[in-house]
């Protein structure tokens, strides 16, 4: 071998480790998202989560991959969708609401699960306690249950002489919320009419019935089923000129009169921190469930004008955001 051939051989040998290193794939974490409703209704939560993950240093296609599935608002589809995601063998399952978290919990006892907007996770059987979740699931709890009586107070502030209030709920609405509301209504002598709805047609029918029964206002309880019908519900309240109170600001943004509750998008962003900790080695059982620290009051003045309601000054002084 002449001197030239020897040099070429040495260069080739020296380059081998670098070439080998360059061909090794980067480990990508797989995160899956279990959505109850539709991309149109719940997509804003998914985008809020991904944005926070980017801020934490996760780049899609580089060190993380995402998969998302929607039950399209059909509760019966939830178990099969959860099993489909589990079959992908992800590193973490993000299941924001109660129905999603319960379905994921039933589908796997080993893959870490993070929830984000569940009220009363202990009562729902998701965790043993807030401080010590146990098992493979943890996340963030909303304060919807504790705030339920406040929703009635808001109704009575806007409609001082109200004697009959409709409560719109779905199958996944927390039972404690309904019970607290009914108890609060009974104490102040207000009749509470409960309407169950899940689909677009059922929601439409519920508003026909509450109008016939002369409900003077409607309180819409927390439900993943309603997330995809926000605009429909808001439009029905305006059409029937009925003041409405919700637990999520997204409803007020879509035309509801008042919302008072946790910022769900913010909670999903905070859920990204749980996911980050789990990907770095933390166990869900060692991560205490966090509770929402702030309840915000949002009022839609455009809707107030449309239904002929004057918002009292005392509420305007307390509001966190006015939609004009």
8 Å CB contact between 144 and 175: no
At residue 116, the pLDDT reads 94
Give the CA diameter of the chain: 104
DSSP state of 194: E
Residue 316 above 80 pLDDT?
Answer: yes
11 burial level (CB within 10 Å; 0-12, 13-18, 19+): exposed
Residue 155 above 90 pLDDT?
Answer: yes
d(CA 216, CA 243) in angstroms, rounded, equals 7
Instruction: Confirm whether 29-142+264-291 and 144-261+296-323 share one CATH topology.
Output: yes
Residue 21 above 70 pLDDT?
Answer: no
At residue 26, the pLDDT reads 57
Distance between first and last Cα of the chain: 84
Cα 176 to Cα 138, 144, 169, 171, distances in angstroms: 20, 9, 12, 13
Q: For 166-208, what is each residue's pLDDT tens digit?
A: 999 998 888 888 998 999 999 999 999 999 998 999 999 999 9
pLDDT-wise least confident of 5-9, 196-200, 266-270? 5-9
Confidence of residue 264 (pLDDT cuts 50, 70, 90): confident
d(CA 244, CA 250) in angstroms, rounded, equals 13
At residue 221, the pLDDT reads 92
pLDDT-wise least confident of 182-186, 227-231, 250-254? 227-231
Q: Any idea where the domains of the chain sit in the sequence?
A: 29-142+264-291, 144-261+296-323
d(CA 166, CA 288) in angstroms, rounded, equals 36
Residue 136 above 70 pLDDT?
Answer: yes
d(CA 164, CA 168) in angstroms, rounded, equals 13
CATH architecture of 29-142+264-291: 3-Layer(aba) Sandwich (3.40)
At residue 142, the pLDDT reads 80
Per DSSP bridges, beta strands 29-35 and 217-220 are unpaired
Residue 214 above 50 pLDDT?
Answer: yes
Confidence of residue 22 (pLDDT cuts 50, 70, 90): very low
Residue 16 above 90 pLDDT?
Answer: no
Q: For 38-51, what is each residue's pLDDT tens digit?
A: 887 778 889 999 99
Q: For 92-123, what is each residue's pLDDT tens digit?
A: 999 998 889 999 999 999 999 999 988 789 98
For 315, the 3-state DSSP assignment is helix
Confidence of residue 145 (pLDDT cuts 50, 70, 90): low
d(CA 205, CA 201) in angstroms, rounded, equals 6
Residue 13 above 60 pLDDT?
Answer: no
At residue 23, the pLDDT reads 40
User: What per-residue string of b and e applies to 96-134 under the rule 16 or more CB within 10 Å gives b?
Assistant: bbbbbbbbbbebbeebbbbbbbbbbbeebebbeeeeebe
At residue 20, the pLDDT reads 39
At the top level of CATH, the class of 144-261+296-323 is alpha beta
| Closest among 206, 174, 169, 199 to 76, alpha carbons compared | 199
What mean pLDDT is reported for the chain?
88
Looking at the DSSP bridge assignments, the partners of residue 196 are 169
Once rounded to an integer, what is the mean pLDDT over residues 121-126?
89
Residue 69 above 90 pLDDT?
Answer: yes
Once rounded to an integer, what is the mean pLDDT over residues 22-35?
76
What would you report as the CA-atom Rg of the chain, rounded to the nearest whole angstrom?
24
- Residue reference for tokens 């607290």: 180
Residue 24 above 60 pLDDT?
Answer: no
């Amino acid at each position: 071998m002449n001197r030239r051939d020897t040099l070429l051989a040495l260069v080739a040998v020296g380059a081998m480790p670098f070439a080998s290193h360059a061909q090794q794939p980067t480990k990508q974490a797989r995160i899956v998202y279990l959505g109850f409703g539709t991309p149109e209704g719940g997509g804003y939560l998914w985008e809020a989560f991904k944005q926070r993950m980017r801020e934490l240093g996760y780049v899609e296609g580089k060190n993380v991959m995402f998969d998302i599935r929607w039950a399209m608002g059909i509760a019966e589809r939830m178990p099969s969708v959860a099993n489909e995601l589990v079959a992908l063998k992800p590193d973490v399952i993000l299941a924001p609401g109660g129905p999603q978290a319960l379905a994921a919990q039933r589908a796997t006892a080993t893959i870490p699960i993070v929830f984000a907007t569940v009220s009363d996770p202990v009562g729902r059987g998701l965790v043993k306690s807030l401080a010590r979740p146990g098992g493979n699931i943890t996340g963030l709890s909303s304060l919807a249950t504790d705030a339920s009586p406040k929703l009635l107070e808001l109704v009575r502030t806007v409609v001082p002489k109200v004697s009959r209030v409709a409560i719109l709920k779905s199958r996944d609405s927390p039972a404690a919320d309904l019970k607290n509301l009914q108890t609060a209504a009974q104490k102040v002598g207000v009749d509470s009419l409960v309407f169950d709805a899940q689909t677009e047609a059922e929601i439409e029918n519920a508003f026909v019935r509450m109008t016939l029964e002369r409900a003077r206002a409607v309180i819409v309880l927390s439900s993943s089923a309603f997330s995809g019908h926000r605009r429909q519900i808001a439009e029905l309240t305006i059409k029937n000129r009925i003041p409405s109170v919700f637990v999520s600001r997204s409803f007020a943004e879509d035309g509801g009169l008042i919302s008072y509750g946790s910022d769900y998008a913010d909670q999903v962003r905070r859920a990204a921190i749980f996911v980050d900790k789990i990907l770095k080695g933390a166990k869900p059982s060692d991560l205490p469930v966090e509770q929402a620290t702030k309840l915000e009051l949002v009022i839609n003045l455009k809707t107030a004008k449309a239904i002929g309601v004057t918002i009292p000054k005392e509420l305007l002084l307390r509001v966190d955001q006015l939609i004009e």
